[in-house]
Amino acid sequence: MSELPGIVVNGASGRMGRMLVKLVSESPAARLVGALERPGHDWVGQDVGEAMGGAALGVPVSDDPLEAMAKAQAVIDFTAPAATVALADLAAQARAVHVIGTTGLTDDDITRLAAAARHATIIRAGNMSLGVNLLVQLTRKVAEALDEAFDIEIVETHHKHKVDAPSGTALMLGEAAAEGRGVELDRVADRGRDGITGARTEGHIGFSAIRGGDVVGEHDVIFAGTGERVILRHVATDRAIFARGALKAALWGIGRKPGSYDMMDVLGL
């Protein structure tokens, strides 16, 4: 019988990292073969299962990506922009599929990931859940159907620890709305209104970010017309939805030719 695909989790001690360690180590379709953390993190050197407060999993936490990926077919990475960009070249060297959930990437970071994708299979999405990827498609369709008399506003709510805004998901939804309208998001995005802003510009797409407590992630796309509003909403109540999507992406990517892919490719949407 052939061995199950080996998966490494980057950022193992993080909110998403812990979810992924649990999911992959319990999966009948994959093996956890590595866990990475940043140099100096107190988990480095410990067994990842024990560091999480459970039974040993036989996988030590490492701060050496090439060593951790030596026996891996894929690495799942929900960390921070600088860590993700640095890992992309190493994942390409290790010939491991790189699944990226990290958000807050700059245009320059994305250009660097595109360069790495010439030699590596990279699957990146600001949201790995089935529900949000469906919502992206619905948003594009509604934006196509309703003209600029309907003002588009995207409102997102997340836990108090989130460091980037707008969320990666809000940006995916904004891109889809702009595509539906046949415009470029950069030209119509209104981010961070404050003070005497003047009246709303017709055709613009507004973004608002709420941060507080332990909210996993909520996104509303509001199409506000005169006398009526259409509101598309996704509410995440469990981070497992993102972890499941990421593992699905990793398994889908194994054996694919190098290139940049997203969850629409994985889910066939």
Ligand X SMILES: NC(=O)C1=CN([C@@H]2O[C@H](COP(=O)(O)OP(=O)(O)OC[C@H]3O[C@@H](n4cnc5c(N)ncnc54)[C@H](O)[C@@H]3O)[C@@H](O)[C@H]2O)C=CC1
Binding-site sequence positions: 11-16, 37-38, 101-103, 125-128, 159, 168-169
Q: Which of 46, 47, 71, 104 binds ligand X (CB under 6 A)?
A: 104
Residue list for the binding site for (S)-2,3,4,5-tetrahydrodipicolinate: 159, 168-169
Decide: 35 and 67 in contact? Cβ < 8 Å. no
CB of 180 within 8 A of CB of 141?
Answer: yes
Stretch that binds ligand X, among 79-87, 107-115, 145-153, 181-189 (CB under 6 A): 79-87
Task: Report the residue number, 21 or 69, with the smaller CB distance to ligand LZUJQKHR.
Answer: 21
Q: Is 65 in the site for ligand LZUJQKHR (CB under 6 A)?
A: no
CA-nearest of 124, 110, 119 to 257 is: 119
* Residue in 177, 242, 206 with CA at minimum distance from that of residue 15: 242
Sign of the torsion angle spanned by Cα atoms 10, 12, 17, 21: positive
Per DSSP bridges, beta strands 151-158 and 205-211 are parallel
Q: Does 140 bind ligand LZUJQKHR (CB under 6 A)?
A: no
The amino acid that residue 43 corresponds to is W
Binding to ligand X (CB under 6 A) within 126-145 occurs at 126-128
Binding characters for ligand LZUJQKHR, 95-134, by CB under 6 A (x = yes): --------x----------------------xx-------
Residue partners of 260: CB distance under 8 A and separation at least 6: 113, 114, 117, 122, 124
Please identify which residue in the block is written with the tokens 């030699």: 119
- Count of residues of this chain found to bind ligand LZUJQKHR when the rule CB under 6 A is applied: 9
Query: What is the nearest approach in angstroms of ligand X to the Cβ of residue 78?
Result: 4
According to the binding rule CB under 6 A, does residue 73 interact with ligand X?
no
Catalytic site residue from 22, 98, 162, 219: 162
- Decide whether 86 or 145 has the Cβ nearer to ligand X: 86
Contacts of 223 (CB under 8 A, 6+ apart): 142, 143, 146, 150, 151, 152, 229, 230, 231, 232
Which one of ligand LZUJQKHR, ligand X, none interacts with residue 133, CB within 5 to 8 A by kind?
none
Q: How far is the CB of 180 from ligand X (least distance, A)?
A: 22
Determine the interface stretch with ligand LZUJQKHR among 49-57, 163-171, 192-200, 248-256 (rule: CB under 6 A).
Answer: 163-171
Is residue 65 reached through a cis peptide bond, with omega within 30 degrees of 0 on the bond before it? no
> CA 71 to CA 7: how far, in whole Å?
9
162 has catalytic annotation: yes
Structure tokens at 261: 């892919």
Nearer of residues 11 and 34 to ligand X, judged by Cβ: 11
- Which residue ranges make up the site for ligand X (CB under 6 A)? 10-11, 13-17, 36-38, 41, 78-80, 83, 101-104, 125-128, 168, 242
